[in-house]
Structure 1
């Protein structure tokens, strides 16, 4: 074996010689040693990924639930104004002729809310948002870790980094199951949050408990679960993509830049995660919002044919653009929102892992 001083040079010479870049120079090996060198480099990569995984903060069940809940509440509170704008845009066209709809303008709607409802209106329904987000985030983060561990056992994944396709499958399926679990448990609060945020000048629901009682009385217990099907169809893929993109991006980032701060990694990878999941699942989220408002405030029903009938109706009357109504404020919301959630979660895990047991 001989060393070539040209760093990064790749060539194949006579006799089956190959050059491998080791980071300190190019090492020339004969064909017989090439396979062993490849195995050594792959083993070193796996050991590095395993070391990164082993150094992730470890916390107990209660601490993990707290970290997930607080992270969700912080993220939602910071982006509440954009969340309300998204809901209002999504509901355009529900009780208005599509031909008479004005093009969505964030600035115009923001000005209208400030003028007619005041600044506090941007956080209308935020209390119920937090009441929903704390258990939702707690359950989703906790369930993801549990499902991930279970799937690793089922698929025979002894340690992350050994099989990229299995790692991705674990993250996608685990994220989807976590989303379905969390959404099913906390759905009535999500429905109430939507109805409170959708109120403008006429206040029909006076708060969380009043809304829960009114909906149960006027629409029955099933009224609290309107749009659950669309929610599960959307939240499964949404969290599947979100967790998969975040975990994959974080692993790749920390592998190549292990000294970067947790805050930077959380914000960067969270942004990619939010954009990817929102783009794919936004039409289902819009359908869910509109189904949640069926019969609200005594209004006549608009969509009477279920999830797919509602989807078809919106597409027919408002076009493809109608299915993405409100996507701009959604992007403005989701990039900082998801980033803040993941960053807060990682920092809280780091903090809570340093607290001695007992």
Structure 2
């Protein structure tokens, strides 16, 4: 059996997988929340960083790089400003992690049970294909089921000292009243288009690297899982980053668009329309605004997620047994 299959069979029951996935998401989110806020602020900034003349009519801060943005947020909004949107984000990561890992495990098991028509003793699909399909399905389902929380996370992180939404409950009421139920899914098409190749690439790379890294590098404290997660995340994140930026721009559309810290966010319509508008206004480089901090965030986020998931699952298996 393949390494990925052996790894899957080592996992515990569904409840343990859900709990481990949720714990991994919770811990990971808290650790990288400040970088997430910085990334969102940079992605929503539309003026040129190299042309001072473009800053003349800007209402709000002008961010230039990761460290500069961190300092600016702390100076203008206090240290708590780095954790804006953390409540919906924590809920997002817990739910997302549970759905993602459970779906990945279930789909992989289903694919492994499909026999090859000419050789019933071997799986129908090779391991890389299983990992890609399972990762894509898991990512798509987790993204769609938790998308309103993702939108709320973005909108709270985009707020400056002026509060568009005073509380999580008020945001739910306001969006429902002014934008309807569809308002909670602004940019969802970009998210789905993004997450399918992202999670497919991520899990394919992770499963391919996890065992070789553990065997050949002998990293301490079980950090082989973390190293494989870092490499997988960087590769996948870079490939689909423009869609992540498009998603953020679409998430802050609506009646509250001019109330965020970047008050000059244009009106965008649809994924392709947003891509064309960004390229026309800022060039192709505009689609990669915030990529550096995104990669800086993705590496520790994926490392913490996979390390926490593997170890939390191992502890629960030891305490509660492995019965499905």
Considering the TM-score relative to the shorter chain, is it more than 0.5? yes
Residue aligning to 2:277: 313
Q: Taking structure 1 as reference, are residues 304 and 253 closer, same or farther at Cα in structure 2, changes over 3 Å only?
A: closer
Residue aligning to 1:7: none
Q: Taking structure 1 as reference, are residues 155 and 181 closer, same or farther at Cα in structure 2, changes over 3 Å only?
A: farther
Residue aligning to 1:8: none
The answer to whether residue 22 in structure 2 is matched with residue 62 in structure 1 is no
- Is residue 104–residue 326 contact of structure 1 (8 Å, CA) maintained in 2? no
The answer to whether residue 165 in structure 2 is matched with residue 205 in structure 1 is yes
Q: How many residues align?
A: 306
Report the Cα offset of residue 353 of structure 1. 1.1
* Aligned 1:172-191 pairs, distance under 5 A: 172-191=132-151
Residue aligning to 1:28: none
Residue aligning to 2:46: 93
Distance 2:233 2:179 in 1: 34
* Aligned 1:69-148 pairs, distance under 5 A: 69-93=22-46, 100=54, 104-148=64-108
Q: Taking structure 1 as reference, are residues 261 and 146 closer, same or farther at Cα in structure 2, changes over 3 Å only?
A: farther
Give the SS at the match of 2:46: coil
Q: Taking structure 1 as reference, are residues 117 and 250 closer, same or farther at Cα in structure 2, changes over 3 Å only?
A: same
Q: Taking structure 1 as reference, are residues 355 and 57 closer, same or farther at Cα in structure 2, changes over 3 Å only?
A: farther
Structure 1: gaps (5+ residues): 1-45
Report the Cα offset of residue 292 of structure 1. 0.3
- Judge which range, 147-156 or 313-322, deviates more: 147-156
Q: Taking structure 1 as reference, are residues 165 and 236 closer, same or farther at Cα in structure 2, changes over 3 Å only?
A: same
After superposition, the C-alpha distances for 1:100-127 in whole angstroms (9 at most, x for unaligned) are 1667322222221111100111011111
Q: Give me the CA root mean square deviation.
A: 2.8
- Relative contact order, higher structure (CA 8 A, sep 6+): 2
Q: Taking structure 1 as reference, are residues 315 and 155 closer, same or farther at Cα in structure 2, changes over 3 Å only?
A: farther
Q: Select 1:286's aligned residue among 206, 231, 245.
A: 245
Report the Cα offset of residue 163 of structure 1. 8.1
Report the Cα offset of residue 94 of structure 1. 7.7
Scaled by the length of structure 1, the TM-score of the pair is: 0.78
- Is residue 94–residue 302 contact of structure 1 (8 Å, CA) maintained in 2? no
Scaled by the length of structure 2, the TM-score of the pair is: 0.86
After superposition, the C-alpha distances for 1:12-33 in whole angstroms (9 at most, x for unaligned) are xxxxxxxxxxxxxxxxxxxxxx
Give the SS at the match of 1:180: helix
* Aligned 1:20-39 pairs, distance under 5 A: none
Q: Taking structure 1 as reference, are residues 353 and 296 closer, same or farther at Cα in structure 2, changes over 3 Å only?
A: farther
After superposition, the C-alpha distances for 1:217-262 in whole angstroms (9 at most, x for unaligned) are 11111001100000000111111111111111013234546x6556
Residue aligning to 2:304: 340
Report the Cα offset of residue 142 of structure 1. 0.7
Q: Select 2:127's aligned residue among 167, 178, 182.
A: 167
Larger radius of gyration: 1
